[in-house]
């Protein structure tokens, strides 16, 4: 296949305009020749140079125009691969095309391309106008108009309102809720009290909303200060620094009694669950072996199965809740034992400085 001839643009791009200095009627000389620059080839000339001009129509169909070679130069390898994937080229020709793009990229990195333009050299008169003039005025020197660099006026900076926008009380109340914020369940008495305390603190100081952990802690402290009536008679929180020994003993007895009740209830529920499972299996047997032929009996068996299944689910749900409560109680008891043991160790083994202070003796200075 014969190569497609280059366009006029490429022919003109390879020619350089030389202007010899000469004086005109105004006494000024013509411009000196411009510095050499690399011209960006067109698609046709580039394919002819690589000897793969048979793909010219395929490039045009892919949306690549004659002056898009410069754009392909600045594509990375991934983008160039995506472009070539839409053109059915042989592997060898594809490698040649990529290599040619890389060589152009290296050339332009050291010498930027000069794109053809109607105003490439504003100091030279177009050839068509020069031919129309007489021989004594072949070159016309057009003095470029001086561009007045007007000082840029400083932009008026918009006044930023440093004062924060006020937040409504409804928004503060919504953000201060601790329990049930994204739930529609019924809250307990303690949860409602915590929410009320948190809302009151947030309305007094909205900055507490930045840290909900501190807000929750301050809400519990407020309940302690206000003397909230807890379910067990006293708060078991670490924030409660003073606990009456008598009250502490009573609370421990109540906790032990509650733990015994939980264990008894768990054993009772486990026994009920076994009974319900046996009843469920016995009700399933006639349906599995299809002993019953009467439709009414089948309907009764199905209803009884649904009742057994419902009761079994309820028992399992309550059993899981009690086991979870039992695990929490065991963890709380273990934590208290570890804390008490640490306190006893500190009381039994005071440091040497405390012993010296109580005895009135001072260590000799070294």
User: Is 262 a residue whose pLDDT tops 70?
Assistant: yes
Q: Is 25 exposed, middle or buried (0-12, 13-18, 19+ CB in 10 A)?
A: exposed
Choosing from 226, 253, 271, the residue where a domain stops is 226
109 and 57 together in one domain: yes
Q: Judge whether residue 172 has pLDDT over 60.
A: yes
Q: Is 22 part of any domain?
A: no
Q: State whether 283 and 313 are in the same domain.
A: yes
One domain, residues 288 and 340? yes
100 and 68 share one domain: yes
Burial class (CB in 10 A: 0-12, 13-18, 19+), 224: middle
**Residue 40 within any structural domain of the chain:** yes
In the chain, count H helices and then E strands.
13, 2
How many domains, in total, are found in the chain? 3
Per-residue pLDDT at 195: 92
pLDDT at 322: 84
Long-range contacts of 60-65 (CB under 8 A, 24+ apart): 62/86, 62/87
Where among 84, 116, 148 does a domain terminate? Answer: 116
Residue-wise pLDDT tens digits, 37-65: 567 888 898 899 888 889 888 888 888 88
Residue 71 lies in a domain: yes
**In the chain, what percentage of residues exceed pLDDT 90?**
5
Give me Rg for the CA atoms of the chain: 46
Does residue 300 belong to any structural domain of this protein?
A: yes
Residue 254 has pLDDT above 70, yes or no: no
Contact (Cβ atoms closer than 8 angstroms) between residue 39 and residue 113: yes
Query: What pTM value is reported for the model?
Result: 0.29
Residues 298 and 205 in one domain: no
User: Is there a contact between 206 and 189 (Cβ–Cβ < 8 Å)?
Assistant: no
131 lies in some domain: no
Of 113 and 29, more confident: 113
- 3-class secondary-structure state, position 363: coil
* Spatial CB neighbours of 53, under 8 Å, sequence gap ≥ 6: 1, 3, 4, 44, 47
What does each C-alpha distance from 124 to 13, 97, 224 come to in angstroms? Answer: 17, 37, 92
Query: Which of 32, 37, 44, 30 minimizes the C-alpha distance to 15?
Result: 37
Residue 356 lies in a domain: no
DSSP string over 24-84: -TTS-BPPPPPPP-EEPPPHHHHHHHHT-GGGHHHHHHTT--TT-HHHHHT--HHHHHHHH
Give CA–CA dist 7/9, Å, rounded. Answer: 5
Residues 104 and 176 in one domain: no
What's the CA gap between 46 and 6, in Å, rounded? 9
147 membership: H or E segment, kind and range: none
Give percent above pLDDT 70 in the chain.
Answer: 54
Do 104 and 199 lie in one domain? The reply is no
pLDDT in tens, 177-215: 999 888 888 899 889 999 999 999 999 988 888 888 899
Strands (E), 89-129: 113-114
Residues 206 and 268 both lie in one domain:
no
Residues in the chain: 366
Q: What is the pLDDT of residues 281-326, one digit of tens each?
A: 777 776 665 555 555 666 666 667 777 778 888 888 888 888 888 7
- Asked whether residue 241 carries a pLDDT value surpassing 90, the answer given is no
C-alpha angle with apex 255: 331 to 220, nearest 5 degrees? 75
Residue 343 and residue 282 in one domain: yes
Can you spell out the DSSP letters for 280-334?
HHHHHHHHHHT----HHHHHHHHHHHHHHHHHHHHHHHHHHHHHHHHHHHHHHHH
**Does residue 109 belong to any structural domain of this protein?**
yes
Residue 149 above 80 pLDDT? no
| C-alpha to C-alpha distance for 176 and 184, rounded to whole angstroms | 16
Q: What is the CATH number of the domain that holds 80?
A: 1.10.150.50
- Domain ranges, residue 314: 245-348
366 domain residue, yes or no: no
Same domain, 255 and 343: yes
Residue 311: closest CA among 273, 264, 358, 357: 273
């Amino acid at each position: 296949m014969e190569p497609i001839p280059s366009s006029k643009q490429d022919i003109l791009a390879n020619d350089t305009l030389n202007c010899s200095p000469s004086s005109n009627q105004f006494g000024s000389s013509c411009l000196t020749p411009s510095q050499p620059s690399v011209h960006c080839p067109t698609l046709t000339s580039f394919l002819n140079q690589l000897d793969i001009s048979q793909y010219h129509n395929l490039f045009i169909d892919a949306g690549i125009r004659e002056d898009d070679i410069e754009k392909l130069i600045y594509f990375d390898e991934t983008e160039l691969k995506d472009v070539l994937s839409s053109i059915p080229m042989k592997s060898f020709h594809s490698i040649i095309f990529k290599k040619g793009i890389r060589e152009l990229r290296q050339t332009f990195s050291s010498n930027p391309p000069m794109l053809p333009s109607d105003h490439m050299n504003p100091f030279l008169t177009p050839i068509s106008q020069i031919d129309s003039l007489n021989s004594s005025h072949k070159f016309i020197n057009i003095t470029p108009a001086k561009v007045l660099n007007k000082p840029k006026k400083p932009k008026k900076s918009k006044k930023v309102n440093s004062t924060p926008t006020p937040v409504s009380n409804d928004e503060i109340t919504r953000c201060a809720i601790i329990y049930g914020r994204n739930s529609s369940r019924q809250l307990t008495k303690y949860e409602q009290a915590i929410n009320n305390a948190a809302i009151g603190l947030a309305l007094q100081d909205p900055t507490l909303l930045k840290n909900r952990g501190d807000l929750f802690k301050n809400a519990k402290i407020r309940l302690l200060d206000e003397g909230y009536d807890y379910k067990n008679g006293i708060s078991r929180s670490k924030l409660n620094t003073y606990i009456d020994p008598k009250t502490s003993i009573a609370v421990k007895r109540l906790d032990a009694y509650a733990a015994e009740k939980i264990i008894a209830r768990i054993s009772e529920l486990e026994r009920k669950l076994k009974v319900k499972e046996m009843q469920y299996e016995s009700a399933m047997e006639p349906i599995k072996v299809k002993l019953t032929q009467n439709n009414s009996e089948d309907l009764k068996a199905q209803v009884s199965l649904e009742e057994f299944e419902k009761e079994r689910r309820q028992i399992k749900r309550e059993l899981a809740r009690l086991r979870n409560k039992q695990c929490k109680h065991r963890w709380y008891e273990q934590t208290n034992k570890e804390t008490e043991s640490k306190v006893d160790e500190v009381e039994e083994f005071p440091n040497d400085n405390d012993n010296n202070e109580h005895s009135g003796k001072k260590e000799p200075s070294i």
